[in-house]
Structure 1
């Protein structure tokens, strides 16, 4: 069983966000922020009906509903790290990221508007 994601230290989050906003983020910053915001989403919207994927860093299952146990879940959200960080931190609205094609969301309950920003 994979280890659960945990929110990162607030000082590390602030430093990584500063790097991202300045355009100087490296893979370590993207990994830290991606996992941090996915951990917050998992805590805010517990459940197993939607899988949110941010390759290559992490994925979580969240939102109440029909529990998924094997194979591809019926509801999947996938995006890149930069987009995930932008929507999770409130810099970009969820609907704008989806409309721009920066987020792939298929299945029921994949509108994360109610849970964002984190």
Structure 2
């Protein structure tokens, strides 16, 4: 798992999710949840063939396959924090997020549907 990503304390995740559900969350909650769910994805789908970007919070390289070392990776998924958390927690589905333009995915292996939801 990348050093900048690590699983958050389960209690902190539960608290942040509760604040999010109540509409009382802040930037710190979004950051915690984004990084936590990227860490879960990196743990379940280790690799470096797809870069998942959730600006401005974090990015992770996941999914086995061709590894890139410079420039733009062969596959990129970019989405906002709310969409990433919704996908991770089954509030929305990958096809729904793609159809509404909430996810931008390009390149081989950029389909995260087999790995979602995360928990």
User: Shorter-chain TM-score: what band?
Assistant: over 0.9
State the secondary structure of the residue aligned to 2:28: helix
The correspondence of residues 1-118 of structure 1 with structure 2, limited to 5 A, is 3-118=3-118
Provide the C-alpha distance between the structure 1 equivalents of 2:45 and 2:34, rounded to a whole number of angstroms: 16
Kindly provide the CA deviation profile for residues 15-63 of structure 1, in whole angstroms up to 9, marking residues without a partner as x: 0001111112100000000000000000000000000000000000000
Shift of 1:3: 2.7
* Gapped regions of structure 1 (runs ≥ 5): none
Normalising by structure 2, we get a TM-score of: 0.95
State the secondary structure of the residue aligned to 2:104: strand
Shift of 1:86: 0.3
Provide the C-alpha distance between the structure 1 equivalents of 2:3 and 2:76, rounded to a whole number of angstroms: 20
Count of aligned positions: 117
Provide the C-alpha distance between the structure 2 equivalents of 1:80 and 1:24, rounded to a whole number of angstroms: 18
State the secondary structure of the residue aligned to 1:12: helix
CA RMSD of aligned residues (A): 0.9
